[in-house]
Structures are given as structure tokens and as C-alpha cells.
Amino acid sequence: MGSFRIASLLSLAAGVVVSTAQAQTPASVVVANPTYVTVPLEVTVNKPAAEVWARIGKYCAIRDWFPLPCTIVSGNEEEIGAMRSVASEIMVGKTALSYTYTQAPKEGKPYNLYHGTLEARPLTATTSKLLYTLFYDNSMLPDEAARAKDRAGKVATFQKGLENMKLLAEGGTLPPAPAK
């Protein structure tokens, strides 16, 4: 067989493999004109950052300050790549006093690039600041009023989470959740 014919057959075979792989991969939904939003929040804590992080910094400690169920679905809670049950969130970054997570894309739904970072930052030997920053695309919402309402809801929810973290880090306890 000539080298041209072998090269043609190999090229054809590679094309079939690529086409088959593409056919099996679900199409992602890309947003044409994203509108990215950043929501920076913070609270000062009367404890050193290392003590604060020891109390609230585990990946599933969210169950303590946003009283909701959390389990590690895959990976190790202390390592990048861990996935927690809360909104299928995957840890994508980590330092000694912070972590960053994203929510996994869902087939057939526009991906809003939702990310959150929680950090304990030293201020003095006895105080620190907790920073919680959210980043996402809100272009899927129908209008500016809906986007403003969505942002306000996130600010209220996550500021309450920061206040809960502060209370816990300073040695307090959260009141029991209201009965449903």
C-alpha cells in the first residue's frame, strides 16, 4: 500500500474517532452576552485568622454556619477537586486560609460560571477579616429588576452566613433553626 493511501486511511480513521467523541459529548450551553457580577462581602472577627479558619474553614463547615446538610461526595475535604453535596460545588483553589469553589455545569442549562471564595485574612495578632466573594453571570435573568433582586438576595444570604461564621469563630453558638 502506498504511503499516500496509508496517510489517507489514518486521517479518515482519526476523523471518525473525533466525530464519534463529539457525538457522545453533550453540547454545553454558552451564553452569548454574559453580564458578570462580583459580590464582595466581609466582616471583622475578634480572633486570629488561624483560629477563625480552624473553626469555619473546612469545606463542609458550611453545615455549621448555613445550617444545611453537607457531605463530601468525592475527593478529600482538604484538597482541590473535592466535591460537596451543596449544589455540586467543587473546590478549585485553596490556600492555608482560603478556598475557592465553583458549581458544576449542568447538561442543557446555561453555565453561569458561579464561583465563591472564602478567606480569613489576618488584621492584627488578635483580629482578622472574613471575606466572601461571589462571582457569576446573571445574564440569564430576564431584566435589570430581576438581576438586582437576585444580587440583593445573595448579599443578604451570604452576609448572614458571614455573621454566623463570626459568631461561631468568636466562640458563640447559633440559635436553633426555626421549625418547619
More reliable by pLDDT, 97 or 180:
97
- Average pLDDT in the 72-95 region? 97
Instruction: Give the structural domain span for 45.
Output: 31-169
Count of CB atoms within 10 A of residue 116's CB? 19
β-sheet with 115-122: strand ranges across: 36-45, 128-137, 115-122, 98-103, 89-95, 83-84, 72-74
Q: Residue 133 carries which DSSP code?
A: E
- Cβ contact 127:45 at 8 Å: yes
Question: Which residues on neighbouring strands pair with residue 163, listed in sequence order?
Answer: none
Assign 13 a pLDDT band (cuts: 50, 70, 90).
very low
Q: Domain tally for the chain?
A: 1
13 within domain boundaries = no
Can you give the pTM of this predicted structure?
0.82
18 CB contacts (<8 Å, ≥6 apart)?
A: none
179 within domain boundaries = no
Encode pLDDT of 33-71 as tens digits.
999 999 999 999 999 999 999 999 999 999 999 989 999
- For residue 142, the domain's CATH number is 3.30.530.20
Per DSSP, helices labelled H in 42-95 are 49-56, 62-65
- Average pLDDT in the 117-131 region? 98
- Average pLDDT in the 20-42 region? 75
What Rg do the C-alpha atoms of the chain give, in angstroms? 22
Q: What is the residue-averaged pLDDT of the chain?
A: 87
- pLDDT of residue 135 exceeding 60, the answer is yes
49 within domain boundaries = yes
- Cβ contact 83:90 at 8 Å: yes
Question: Which residues on neighbouring strands pair with residue 42, listed in sequence order?
Answer: 131
25 within domain boundaries = no
11 within domain boundaries = no
26 within domain boundaries = no
175 within domain boundaries = no
